[in-house]
Chain A
Amino acid sequence: DVKVTQSSRYLVKRTGEKVFLECVQDMDHENMFWYRQDPGLGLRLIYFSYDVKMKEKGDIPEGYSVSREKKERFSLILESASTNQTSMYLCASSLDSSYGYTFGSGTRLTVV
């Protein structure tokens, strides 16, 4: 089974801190994604990557950046955390888009 692992289940950070959310997948998938999930809004795509060192903006990239130095790892960076970035963050990976996407268990980030 494909496994997508997010390093933290819960995080509490202070406003203005630089925050790193890490995601690792173990099945050599080309594509990786970062979403945030908020009640009533579903999942919204922040950034995605289809290859090492490649990245594409999603629908809500402002305030975020990403890094993909190795195929298995996709990091989401909050350059200066703000309270409106308090959310659930979900990482996903896929090999072939016809077969769906495998999600990590999520990181619930609270910015205080």
Chain B
Amino acid sequence: AQKITQTQPGMFVQEKEAVTLDCTYDTSDPSYGLFWYKQPSSGEMIFLIYQGSYDQQNATEGRYSLNFQKARKSANLVISASQLGDSAMYFCAMRGGFSGGYNKLIFGAGTRLAVHP
């Protein structure tokens, strides 16, 4: 069965510092995709970054980067130069391969990030 694990229920970071949010996954499919979403207090889910299982390089999108370690089955999100507006809930998600329901996303429990001034 496919599974996403986020072991940090809450994290805090000082403004302008970097923070890493952990995510590990479990799948037997060779083809899969990993996503990170941000959910502010308003409730909408904002897509941040995507990493395909065959991508050779770690994905980056502005201040967000995904530290993809395939052998360890981890896909940690790194936020550089944290801003107050980064305070939110962050979800790691995986799109399964053909045996896991190709188009469906499964989510971790989430990590609540608080950025302190």
Contacts and interface: CB of A to CB of B under 8 A. Distances in A.
Contacts of B93: 43
A98 B33 contact: yes
Nearest to A30: B103
B95 A45 contact: no
Interface in A47-76: 48, 50, 56, 58-59
A48 B9 CA distance: 28
Interface residues on B, range: 20 to 34
A88 B108 contact: no
Interface in A20-38: 31, 33, 35
A103 B105 CA distance: 12
Contact of A42 (B103, B104, B108): B108
Interface of B: 4, 6, 9, 33, 35, 37, 42-45, 47, 50, 52, 91, 93, 95, 101-110
A97 B9 contact: no
Main secondary structure of the interface of A (DSSP, over half): strand
A92 B95 CA distance: 14
Contact of B103 (A48, A88, A102): A48
A48 B103 CA distance: 9
B48 to A, nearest CB: 9
B43 A101 contact: no
Contacts of A35: 107
